[in-house]
Amino acid sequence: MTYTALTFPSDGVTCAGRFYPGAAQSPFDDDGRRPVVIMAHGFGGTVDSGLDPFAQAFADAGLAVLAFDYRGFGASQGSPRQRIRLADQAQDYSSAIAAAAAQPGVDPERIVLWGVSMSGGTVVQVAAGRTDVAAVIALAPLVNGLAAGVHAYPQSGVRAMARSAAAGMRSAVAGRLGRAGTLMPIVGRPGENAALTAPGFYEAYTAIAGPTWRNEVDATVGLEIGGLNVNKAAAAVTAPVLVQIADLDQGAPPQAAAKTAFKARAQVRHYPCDHFDVFAPNDWFAPAVAHQLAFLTRQLAPAAAHR
C-alpha cells in the first residue's frame, strides 16, 4: 500500500507525515468515508523506524492512516532538535487530527489514536474529553514516569541515574539561557551512559531504526518524564480503549499500564514478551496487530452499526 508524503502546521512548526488512503474496498466505509488511524512513535522514534508495518496493516484492512514525526524529530522541522516535550508532542497529535480529518475520504468523526511506548501514554491524554475520537490503541504504553524510574533502577543503578539527572539539570539551565542543550544516547548497552540500557534494547532499537532516526535525545527527558502520569486523563476518555501490555517489558512497567487500563475501562491484551518484541518482524507483531484490527472492527465496522 503506497502513501503520500504530507506536512501540517503545529504551533507554527511544520510536521511531516505519511498519509495512507487505505485499500479501495473497505468494510469500514460509510457513504464513501472511512476512519483514520493517527500514529506517532514512542521515545525518540521516527516514522521510518518501525511504524510502517503497522500503518501498512491498517491500510490493507481498509483504514486510512496518518503517521507523523514530532517536531524536532525525523523529517519534521522545529528546534531544538531531539528534545522531548510531552505537551508539545500532545499538541502535535492534536494538529495531526486536524490534518487527517481534512484528507479526502476520511470521516472526521471516526478518529483512531494509536500509540506505542511513550506515545501510548500520549494518545490517552489527547483522547481525554474529545468527542471525535472513536477508538484508542495503546501498545506497550509508558504511562507513569515515577513507576518507570523505579522499574529501571535495577538496570541502571544509583550512579547512572544520578548522572542522567545532573545532565538533565545542566541541559535545562542551558536551554533557559538560550544555549544548546546536552544530548545523550537514546539507547545503549547495559552499563553505558544512555537513556535506555536494558539488556537487548540496543540491538532491538537499532534493528528497527530508519535513516532519519538519530540515537540522541536531550538530557532533559528524564526531568520531563518524571512527572508523567496519565491516569487522570484515562478516566476522562469516553472512547473505547485497547491497552496491549508486554508482560516482560523492561522499559514500560506492565503494572502501571494495567492501572491505566483500569482507569480507562479498557479492553486489555497481554503478551509474554519484552518492549520491542511487538515490532515487526518479531514474533509478537502479528498477534498484536491482529488484536488491534479485531478491536477496530468491533468498534467501527460496519459503520452503520457504529453510528
The per-residue pLDDT for range 12-63, each reduced to its tens digit, is 999 999 999 999 999 999 999 999 999 999 999 999 999 999 999 999 999 9
Establish whether the linkage from the previous residue to 80 is cis, with ω within 30° of 0.
yes
Looking at residue 305, its pLDDT comes to: 47
List the CATH number of the domain containing 293. 3.40.50.1820
Q: What is the pLDDT of residues 122-146, one digit of tens each?
A: 999 999 999 999 999 999 999 999 9
212 in any annotated domain: no
Q: How far is CA 107 from the centre of its chain?
A: 22
Q: 299: which 3 cell numbers? A: 468498534
Rounded to 10 degrees, what is the CA torsion of 249, 195, 212, 202?
Answer: -60
Task: Give residue 101's domain range.
Answer: 4-152+230-306
Number of compact structural domains in the chain: 1
Q: What is the pLDDT of residues 195-242, one digit of tens each?
A: 999 999 999 999 999 999 999 999 999 889 989 999 999 999 999 999
20 in any annotated domain: yes
Q: 154: which 3 cell numbers? A: 535495577
pTM, full prediction: 0.91
193 in any annotated domain: no
45 in any annotated domain: yes
